[in-house]
Amino acid sequence: MTDLADLSIPEAAAALQEGRLTARQLSEAALARIAARDDRLHAFTHLNPDALAEADRADAMLADGHAGPFCGIPIAVKDLIDVAGLPATSGSAVLAGRIAPADAAAVARLRAQGAVVLGKLATYEFAMVGPDMTLPDPPARNPWNTAHITGGSSSGSAAAVAGGLVRLALGTDTGGSIRSPAAYCGCVGLKPSYDRVSRSGAFPLSASLDHVGPLAASVEEAALALDAMTEAPDDWRAATGQLTRGAKGLRIGYARNWFADDPQATPALIRAMDDAAAQFSMLGATITQLDLPDYALFEAVGSVILHAEALGEHEALIRDRLAFYGRPVLQCLAFGAAVGAEDLARARKAQAALTEEALQAMADVDIVITATTLTPALPFSAFDGQKAVWTPMRTIPFNVTGQPVLSLPIGFDDGLPLGMQVIGRKGDEDLICAAGHAFERATDASAQRPLFRR
């Protein structure tokens, strides 16, 4: 018999709406799962003491005929995103004791539809760098091997989904912080088009690069969540609008140049990406190798913008609370202090040029695929809590361009997951989700889950 905590969101929604299940039962099952597993994963930093009362309100909504896909569904939220009445520390001692006065916009949209917030999830300090063992909360651990990181900064979000604690978690992505944890933990991460989901109520890292989005157990669940959180829904095509169209007829560009010749890329990653491209071909897509603009240029431009904007967000806090910051975050902010106005202006100009180059490279294809990260998750032993370690990702370019990107599992390297990005033009969430859904149904990487023993 399927544990209630393992029901997909569509399965649970159908059972709730047909009266075969209550929201309280579903939330109790999720809370029991958290109690059984989270002592090893450290995904949650705070549980919501009113979660079951929220579930009872969802049951009342269901009794009144509310039939949305999230009514009664348990979710969890990265501690960079406000949930009214719950601690909101952004993973830092700097904000210790802060309680969110209101829901972030994305949380409010889901709660209005009856979603039940179970609690807050671990993040790297202010979404910058980590893991840092000196912070108030221990870092989240990878469910596939707890000696390894989850990636950052939506670390607890990925651990919670991959570890089976919830089917959906909210995260943020400024340079890959939804997609790299999704890849490292073997779940789905969806970074929307810039401005599709409101960032209101999420502590900013870099306002022009920040995105709020879902991490989920499947492409369908991520797409459903994105549609539910979308601001001004009529202005965007539904992410679920073409979910079952398949990949047949899609023109897919394969950006192999971003990873295959990089010495950091593991052989297993290269094989898995080549196999993924072949799988899309077997599904009826046309595959064309293409070269995206130099990744190093994107990383340099994105880094200048990110660090300069981050310093601006923290100037007041640094004056008042300097001693409470972790050393790796201060190192990042110091980099921002070295960025002058002319440097930032040049980076903005380069951002526009690189965005145009990326779109020109995609002129003859519908979507692009490439690796999410070059390796599986690093071990905690690579981090000593006092220095920033940059993990090899291929994610920040699409924060620079604002394009939507889906990351989903494609295989394993020594028992740890590997991920692929599916990239579209701005507003093409429906195409990337359709392609990801078709791939997911034709393969078994997304269906595999880590084994838990007591």
Tokens of 124: 């790297």
- Burial (0-12, 13-18, 19+ Cβ within 10 Å), 448: middle
Residue among 287, 283, 278 at smallest CA distance from 438: 283
CA–CA gap between residue 74 and residue 167 (Å, rounded): 8
- In percent, how much of the chain has pLDDT > 70? 98
154 neighbors 176 (Cβ within 8 angstroms): no
Residue 249: left if φ>0, alpha if ψ -120 to 50, beta else—which one? left
229 neighbors 197 (Cβ within 8 angstroms): yes
Q: Give the confidence band of 383 by pLDDT, cuts at 50, 70, 90.
A: confident
Cis peptide before 131 (omega within 30 of 0): yes
Mean pLDDT within 350-373: 98
Residue-range domains of the chain with CATH = 4-442 (3.90.1300.10)
CA–CA gap between residue 305 and residue 400 (Å, rounded): 9
Phi/psi of residue 131, nearest 5 degrees: -75, 150
pLDDT at 286: 98
Which SS3 state, helix, strand or coil, does residue 332 take? helix
135 neighbors 326 (Cβ within 8 angstroms): yes
Phi/psi of residue 251, nearest 5 degrees: -95, 110
Question: Both ends of the chain: CA-CA distance in Å?
Answer: 19
Provide the annotated active-site residues.
Answer: 78, 153, 177
Of 46-60, 116-130, 372-386, the one with minimum mean pLDDT is: 372-386
Mean pLDDT within 227-247: 97
pLDDT at 454: 47
Model pLDDT for residues 176-228, shown as the tens digit of each residue: 999 999 999 999 999 999 999 999 999 999 999 999 999 999 999 999 999 99
pLDDT at 386: 55
Q: Give the confidence band of 272 by pLDDT, cuts at 50, 70, 90.
A: very high
pLDDT at 390: 66
The CA-based angle 138-384-172, given to 5 degrees, is 50
C-alpha neighbours within 13 Å on the C-beta side of residue 189: 37
**Average pLDDT score over the chain:** 96
Q: Name the E strands within 135-289.
A: 168-173, 188-191, 211-216, 251-254, 286-289
Model pLDDT for residues 313-358, shown as the tens digit of each residue: 999 999 999 999 999 899 999 999 999 999 999 999 999 999 999 9
Mean pLDDT within 410-427: 98
pLDDT at 382: 87
DSSP labels, 120-151? EE--SGGGSS---TTSSSPPP--TT-TTB---
* Residues forming beta bridges with residue 393, ordered by sequence position: 373
CA–CA gap between residue 31 and residue 165 (Å, rounded): 8
Mean pLDDT within 382-403: 83
292 neighbors 368 (Cβ within 8 angstroms): yes
The residue written with tokens 């400024």 in the block is: 174
Mean pLDDT within 396-413: 98
Q: Which amino acid is at 87?
A: P
Phi/psi of residue 219, nearest 5 degrees: -65, -45
**pTM score, whole prediction:** 0.97
395 neighbors 421 (Cβ within 8 angstroms): yes
Which SS3 state, helix, strand or coil, does residue 239 take? coil
Of 94-108, 132-146, 291-305, the one with minimum mean pLDDT is: 132-146
Mean pLDDT within 5-14: 98
Mean pLDDT within 397-420: 98
CA–CA gap between residue 426 and residue 320 (Å, rounded): 39
Tokens of 343: 């440097």
Mean pLDDT within 129-143: 90
CA–CA gap between residue 109 and residue 100 (Å, rounded): 16
Mean pLDDT within 275-302: 97
pLDDT at 388: 55
CA–CA gap between residue 241 and residue 130 (Å, rounded): 37
